[in-house]
A and B are shown apart, each in its own frame.
Chain A
């Protein structure tokens, strides 16, 4: 047994209506790679926020190197050698790399010295970074390096990593793992938060599993199978979705050589995109966040218009049509961001049913809204898609992520589309709701619709897709049959390897 670095003892934190952490205890050893495993909402974030001083526990205590440890704020945690790499929200786009690093340090050196130290550390750990670049111009992987370098400059004893690989290609993941192993061998403990089982089995030597705010087990993940870990995490046995294989039909949606400028200054423009989607086909589009997924969806939904002839629905040009005109013609979409894009947070579910339903369901006459009919439509969605809510009058923001996602996807499916485009259909959704949503999409394809799934979750794509392509810096790889693709090949596609590597690796 390693020497303990941090001991958590009976940590409990309640928020109104939820017990986020209930009497959680475990130990992290010096230099240990400790995984914290759990579904969304299992209490992982709250737990690490307590360790990092962002949240105060209601009950319980922590001991760091045999001393009581109760950080009132993150700076205190940092002083004690605890550092954290966030999944989101901790970089400043308009500031440069050195400034971003300095903001995360207690006593940063003068800017010129800092720039040099950033170069040194980033080279030492194989994470190249230019201290003078604006963070807003960096790729997702580079942005993560900024956060890691920021932590490393303070010689942390414990490094907390929150879902670090969700924004990386498989190749970038390998680089990250190498860095983490090097750190661990130098004596830095790592608390690694994830819900990706294979990763944890490859990397960590101990895992603590949370479910519903409680600790379920602490074990050695290398001695368990992925399935055993999954069952510990989810608490039920999962059945993968299924469907009857069907020959694919006519081309429903086609995009030809389309280039489109992003409407967001920090966004990714689409470059020379071409693909076809057939009736009954599920086309999966992989890619690391920020490689043009949002723009692809906006282009297809009609929120960004495109040159007329290059986007066709059932052979008719639709590039210049707005979202409602496309819905009328049979193309519906479900964007990634549920609250604020696919649904208006402060409106009732009924009003949200009108959002995309108005065009296809005849809910509006002469500009006047038939609220009764709209409410009936909302209730239909709620009933068919098992949306857990007291009623259709409830505000969208009062629903849990999974339930709202079921509502949003359900709404689009209920419009009986010919083509549906979804972006991250199960992001942040619990496992059973995710399985439900995937099954619904497969059923739609079986019924003859074309389904386009954009997702960063490779497991999800491999589960549902018939054919497969990847987005990289706004370019789309050629579409390939999903059957027989290896994870390595997919990784190369996602990394944009189609124009960098020898042809045999990605040969058709």
Chain B
């Protein structure tokens, strides 16, 4: 007979080993999936996980892409992880990302075509504020009316998508090109362009922001009282209240931080790699970031590694589409599997498998 037995303390070894094991298992399962699709599994896996970085032919294009794809994932995931630790489930980061982008782009389009050093900083502030505002809707509904923040933040993603479409077709549409949806290209507007800072690296202001966010989050979670309160509220809500934590304040802080960071990510994307407000602007970073947060163990450093890995699957997925005609959805399956394997493996962190003798007295 097999039985699970709760460990006295969670195993540190498995906490760190499981993400790696999950990646390995996902590669195996993914390989099987590719084989079933009639593709050579080894080539496919290599194309997704190795070629974007090591291949001579694609490397020069895809290496900078790695930071471009990973930065928003990391930026969003760092914020989400703080909330997840406190058992506050913002799963609508995709919506906050969209609204942040709209706020940022809105500032840029309002100033167009004026030059000015202050325009980009204003966009940064507006982007963060937009995401923050959008996240305050579930936060305030939760604190005032005890409404479930999971459902509200998620439903607001669909609302944000509709607003995005309305903006791309209406208010923010490029007046110079008739008939096409989408705003002006912010890459062609110097004062608003989130350009590459060091040529050929993919480093733009969003990457810098992600780095700063990681450092701040790390300091907050390990040294600051706020981080202590976050963990307390997540692990033992009654003990948190005993320790003087106000649950409502924490909800506002956690949703606010994650919303602002998601908004920032959206703003850096729309003013740089994305370039313009389009209907297809939202690409699921807000959802993939949930996987990044879990895979990174809700730890800022882990999130950097997880973000890079999932950023890689995006680029690898594009390569796979190009070279092997792999379906784009395969990458989504891949990411979903990764989370499944991680969750499934995590039981060994808290439980020990024991084989017991089935014999009865």
Which residues of A line the B interface, CB within 8 A?
Answer: 16, 56-61, 70, 301-303, 322-325, 333, 335, 337, 340-347, 351, 354-356, 358-359, 364, 367-369, 371, 394-395, 397-398
Contacts and interface: CB of A to CB of B under 8 A. Distances in A.
Interface stretch (B121-129, B140-148, B154-162, B235-243): B235-243
27 contacts: A16-B5, A70-B360, A301-B242, A322-B244, A322-B246, A323-B242, A323-B243, A325-B244, A335-B238, A340-B236, A345-B235, A345-B236, A347-B232, A347-B236, A351-B228, A355-B232, A356-B243, A364-B225, A367-B226, A368-B223, A368-B224, A368-B225, A369-B225, A369-B228, A394-B9, A397-B8, A398-B8
Nearest to A370: B223
Contact of A358 (B235, B236, B243, B246): B243
A344 B239 CA distance: 6
Contact of B9 (A58, A364, A398): A398
Given A58-B361, A347-B231, A342 B242 contact: yes
A356 B235 CA distance: 16
B361 A61 contact: yes
B343 to A, nearest CB: 18
A345 B225 CA distance: 18
A322 B239 CA distance: 14
Interface string B237-256: 01111111010000000000
A369 B235 contact: no
Which 3 A-B residue pairings sit nearest by Cβ, starting from the closest?
Answer: A324-B244, A344-B236, A323-B244
A1 to B, nearest CB: 27
A216 to B, nearest CB: 23
Given A70-B360, A346-B235, A347-B235, A395 B228 contact: no
A371 B242 CA distance: 20
Interface in B1-47: 5, 8-10
Nearest to B231: A347
Contacts of B238: 335, 337, 340-341
Contacts of B246: 322
Nearest to B361: A57
A303 B242 contact: yes
A322 B240 CA distance: 12
Which of A16, A340, A355 is most buried by chain B, counting CB atoms within 10 A of its CB? A355
Nearest to B238: A341
A16 B353 CA distance: 13
Nearest to A359: B244
Contacts of B361: 56-61, 70
Nearest to A303: B241
Contacts of A342: 239, 242
B225 A367 contact: yes
Interface string B321-361: 00000000000000000000000000000000000000011
Which of B231, B236, B240, B242 is most buried by chain A, counting CB atoms within 10 A of its CB? B242
Contacts of B241: 303, 323
Nearest to A398: B8
B241 to A, nearest CB: 5
A310 B87 CA distance: 35
A369 B244 contact: no
Interface in B221-279: 223-226, 228, 231-232, 235-236, 238-244, 246
Which of A61, A322, A325 is most buried by chain B, counting CB atoms within 10 A of its CB? A322
A483 B231 CA distance: 47
Which of B5, B232, B239, B246 is most buried by chain A, counting CB atoms within 10 A of its CB? B239
Nearest to B227: A369
Nearest to A60: B361
Given A57-B361, A323-B243, A368-B223, 15 more contacts: A60-B361, A303-B242, A322-B246, A337-B238, A341-B239, A343-B236, A344-B239, A345-B235, A346-B236, A355-B243, A356-B242, A368-B225, A369-B225, A397-B8, A398-B9
B284 to A, nearest CB: 33
A397 B9 CA distance: 8
A343 B225 contact: no
B243 A369 contact: no
B298 to A, nearest CB: 13
Nearest to A348: B9
Contacts of B10: 346
A58 B359 CA distance: 9
Contacts of B223: 368-369, 371
A70 B232 CA distance: 44
Nearest to A340: B236
Contacts of A335: 238, 242
A369 to B, nearest CB: 6
B239 A343 contact: yes
Contact of A367 (B224, B231, B240): B224
